[in-house]
Amino acid sequence: MLDSHIAQAITQAVEDGFDRQMAFTKDLIRFPSIRGQEHSVQDFVYQALEKRGYAMTRFSMERDAIEAHEGGGKYSPEHSDAPIVIGTYSPRETHGKSLILQSHTDVVPTGPSDMWRFDPFDPQIDGDWLYGRGGADMKAGHAAMISAMDALTSAGLAPAARVEIQSVVEEESTGNGALMTFLKGHTADAVLIPEPEEEMLVRANVGTLWFEIELRGTPVHVREMGEGANAIDGAYRVIKSLREVEKRWNEDRHKHPHFRTLEHPINLNIGKIEGGDWGSSVPAWCKFQCRIAIYPGIKAADAAAEIENHIAAFAKTDRYLSDTPPKITFNGFYSEGYVQEPGSEAETILSHAHQVATGEPLNSFTTPGYLDCRVYRLYNDIPSLCYGPISENIHGFDERVSISSVRRITVAMALFIAEWCGTSNI
Ligand code: ZN
């Protein structure tokens, strides 16, 4: 257990550096780093870490290697080509365990900006809340992991094991950034990812699939509508049929211990739809984008096959769709879920750090959204701790993160690093 003088010095160092940490967080939010536009924020992170003395590496994603892996997200033209950035701290001598701290810099689109209270990329503070797209998910966590390391330095302490700071992209669409770090051989004794998890530890997490369904009909004038297959009407029918898969998978929740008590762990989201050309023509085409979750232990390929078979069987029963079956393309997440079983030493140390930082015991929970932790848990096979600040409206309007919570989790992370890696005096 960490010496109380050391814990005190680290807590004070986080406090002393907190204004700088918030300024850095705001700098990150100002980059509108939606998918494919993360290059400049990744550059900014590269420089911020280089200035601190980390050994820097930067690499691109390799499509062939990613697509050959069972958990590789499927490529589409929108796939980002921004680099992955890693800063490595190496101790003079090692007497603790190594650690990866990981965050993503990609953010989801803002939607109509007039639905926001403030400009989504102009961070604003009101009371305890910091507003901005990506502030909670997860630039506050990103700045917190770097600041936690800074706090150790300010307290005159150096981690006694290797620490890698990984800044990745594609977390919101494929998870390929995290996967690429694994494919490049990066690993450690544990990983900590400070996603906005309400100051709790993620115990279990779903996998995610993305796919697009495209329908084609025969364009005719509306007066001959009976003869033309209406692709948009067809899309409604396919969506209704997909809800049966969602229902079936939700009914399966009792087979999955961490999901039993959740009311609706499997969500099918129809996230985007387009089709047709003209108000008085029967639409000849329609395509829509779907996202669905799967339980840990279910392979993405098996879930994908089930969806394909379901759609094919449904199309055979439908007068129009049987002639022109819907085309399904997997075009993003193709990931399995994970469970971080209790009992790891990493969790014990995080629980203690959390208790010291917040005065509360560390709770754990199951989340129904994708997390990069799956790469480290499933493929690196290391303890994977997803733990971060309190937030509201991530992926929605007025996304915001609690500033006091960011302060607490930064202290907890810094204490965790000190105890997991061990420390020596600078
Ligand atoms: Zn996130």
For residue 318, report the distance from its CA to the centre of ligand 1, in Å.
39
pLDDT, tens only, 347-359: 999 999 999 999 9
Domain ranges of the chain: 4-205+338-425, 207-335
For residue 108, report the distance from its CA to the centre of ligand 1, in Å.
9
Average pLDDT, the chain: 96
- pLDDT average, residue stretch 198-225: 88
Flag whether pLDDT at 228 surpasses 70: no
Tell me which CATH homologous superfamily contains domain 4-205+338-425. Answer: Zn peptidases (3.40.630.10)
Flag whether pLDDT at 217 surpasses 80: no
pLDDT, tens only, 146-201: 999 999 999 999 999 999 999 999 999 999 999 999 999 999 999 999 999 999 99
Q: pLDDT class for 282, splitting at 50, 70, 90? A: confident
| Beta strand 191-193 pairing with 99-104 | parallel
For residue 278, report the distance from its CA to the centre of ligand 1, in Å.
38
pLDDT, tens only, 258-269: 999 999 999 999
Share of the chain above pLDDT 70, in %: 98
Query: What is the per-residue pLDDT for 219?
Result: 64
Predicted TM-score (pTM) of this structure: 0.95
pLDDT, tens only, 62-90: 999 999 999 999 999 999 999 999 999 99
CA distance 101 to 35: 22
For residue 1, report the distance from its CA to the centre of ligand 1, in Å.
31
Query: What is the per-residue pLDDT for 324?
Result: 87
Query: What is the per-residue pLDDT for 308?
Result: 98
CA distance 189 to 346: 9
Counting beta carbons within 10 angstroms of the beta carbon of residue 251, is it exposed (0 to 12), middle (13 to 18) or buried (19 or more)?
Answer: exposed
**Across-strand partners of 319?**
none
User: Which among 131, 195, 112, 209 is positioned nearest to 376, based on CA atoms?
Assistant: 195
Residue 86, φ and ψ in degrees, nearest 5 = -130, 130
Protein residues near ligand 1, an ion, with CB under 5 A? 137-138, 195
Query: What is the per-residue pLDDT for 295?
Result: 97
For residue 296, report the distance from its CA to the centre of ligand 1, in Å.
19
CA distance 240 to 255: 25
User: Tokens for 175?
Assistant: 């998870």
Which fold, 207-335?
A: Alpha-Beta Plaits (3.30.70)
pLDDT, tens only, 29-66: 999 999 999 999 999 999 999 999 999 999 999 999 99
Query: What is the per-residue pLDDT for 25?
Result: 98
Query: What is the per-residue pLDDT for 374?
Result: 98
| Beta strand 191-193 pairing with 384-386 | parallel
For residue 141, report the distance from its CA to the centre of ligand 1, in Å.
9
Least confident range from 173-177, 274-278, 372-376: namely 274-278
CA distance 120 to 93: 44
